[in-house]
Amino acid sequence: MDAKKIFLMLLVSTLLIGSVCAAKNVNDFAIDKSYDNVHNGTYYSLSLNEKQDSGITIFKNANDDAYDNESDDAYDNLIHGEGQDYLTADDDMKIDKNSDNTVDFTDIDHSEHGIAELIDCDGQQFIVVFWAKDTSDVKKSDLSSLLNEFNKDNNVDAIAF
């Protein structure tokens, strides 16, 4: 192989590796293709199983009125309209912060539990939520493992909030 071909291969490889965290949209993240696609848009929500009693949802961490659009019924199937709800405790949401900048949450109003984090990717912040219905057999430890796998696949880490 001549030097030009090797240089071109190295350049392409570098760009591909750098693009792992160059996600500008919530649906640009690497996610297991076996998950069931529920919706694409300002957020990205996938079911982890056929029962649709657990899933992953990724929100862009931005003030956006997309969630206030009453004519868009697609948002009604989400646990909450905004990702910040998973990072902020209130009467219906119990939050336990972990030392690794993630939070365990219990959503009393929707009978769900899970783990969430805030990540920074290419200068933009996203809220990643792995959740499960309380009636499911999915444990928080299972969701934590999936979150760790997501972070590894996307070369991201939780940041403090």
Sign of CA dihedral 29, 35, 37, 38: negative
Q: What is the mean pLDDT of residues 93-109?
A: 95
CA 155 to chain centre: 13
Distance CA 72, CA 65 (A): 12
Q: What are φ and ψ of residue 141, in 5° steps? A: -65, -35
pLDDT of residue 16: 42
pLDDT of residue 111: 94
pLDDT in tens, 81-95: 578 888 889 999 999
Per-residue exposure over 10-24, b if at least 16 CB sit within 10 Å of its own CB, e if not = eeeeeeeeeebeebe
pTM here is: 0.74
Taking 80 as the threshold, does the pLDDT of residue 19 lie above it?
Answer: no
How high does pLDDT run on average in the chain?
76
Which two tokens mark 56?
């992953």
pLDDT of residue 80: 47
Taking 90 as the threshold, does the pLDDT of residue 43 lie above it?
Answer: no
pLDDT of residue 28: 78
CA atoms within 13 A on the CB side of 52: 9
Taking 90 as the threshold, does the pLDDT of residue 39 lie above it?
Answer: no
Task: For the beta carbon of residue 129, count every other beta carbon within 10 angstroms.
Answer: 27
Taking 50 as the threshold, does the pLDDT of residue 79 lie above it?
Answer: no
pLDDT of residue 35: 75
Give one DSSP letter per residue of 1-31, joined into a string.
Answer: --HHHHHHHHHHHHHHHHGGG---SGGGS--
